[in-house]
Structures are given as C-alpha cells and as structure tokens.
Amino acid sequence: MSEEAVNKIHDFLKKMNLKYKFVEKDKVFIVPFSGDTKPFNVLVLVREEWVNVIALAARKDELPPNLDKERFYETLLRLTLELNEVTFGLTEEGDVVVHAETHVKALEFENFKIEFTSVVFGVDYFAKRIAGHLPLIEHPPSEVSKKISSYVW
C-alpha cells in the first residue's frame, strides 16, 4: 500500500505544480516552499498506513529563553482547536511543527491538497501572528540578587 501512496503523492505534487525532492530510503518528499515571511520545507512522509505532512514553524533554540511556556503551549493548543485543519505539535527536541495526517485509504487529491495547504497556512500563521507576540516572563531587576550573592558565602 505504501508504494501506491508514494506514486499518488508524486502525481499530486506534480498536479499542484510544486517542485520537490524524493528520498527513497526514507519515503519522504521534501517540498521547498516560500512563505510570506521566510522559506521553509514541507515534508510529506509515507509511514506504513499513514501519510504525514509536516513543516517546522520554529526551532526550540529560536524561542526566547524567558518564554512563558505554559501560556505559549496553551495558545498553540487553543489554536489547534480554533483554526480549521491546523494542528501544532512538538518534536522530541522541542521544535514547534505544523502537521496533518491522512490514512492511505483516504488519500485522494482534494484531501491531500487541503492537508498540505493547511500546513503551509499554519506555518505562515505562526510566523505572522504568533512569533512576534510570544508571551514572555518578565524578570524583576536583579539588583537584590546581586547583593545577596556578593555578601552570602
């Protein structure tokens, strides 16, 4: 079934007039995409009975160290509910991704196009509406802490 899915995706990407690279050993399509804010890759992975469309919204190391993680992740969860077809997730490394999944039995052109477009929209939405408005923890001035550390041995 996965070989049939791979062939369908080749056809779908061509039909969408998208350039891509296919890595046979990993069954992954790499689709370079130019968003309104920055270029990024959309990955289409064929994993047994599932096709995953995934793109990186932000690397963990791009996020500020004083990020209010609770409010940030709450926002991503809320947006996952409120934005149609846009799902935010985290990698093991803590990078923020936008993803969509389709079972190979449901893999038809219109469905694939919607899933692909939703991932592109999600990355663009993150860049325009979230990245510039990250919730930060404001630390009080460190003057007292400096005095304490100077006089406590």
Q: What is the pTM assigned to this prediction?
A: 0.87
**pLDDT tens for each residue of 58-106:** 999 999 999 999 999 999 999 999 999 999 999 999 999 999 999 999 9
- Token reading at 143: 């003057």
CATH number at residue 26: 3.30.1460.10
**pLDDT tens for each residue of 42-55:** 999 999 899 999 99
Q: Which amino acid is at 61?
A: D
Closest CA to 119 of 76, 85, 81: 85
Q: How far apart are the first and last CA of the chain?
A: 67
Number of domains in the chain: 1
Q: Rounded to the nearest 10 degrees, what angle do helices 109-125 and 2-15 cross at?
A: 70
Contact 33, 53 (CB under 8 A): no
Q: What is the domain range of residue 48?
A: 2-151
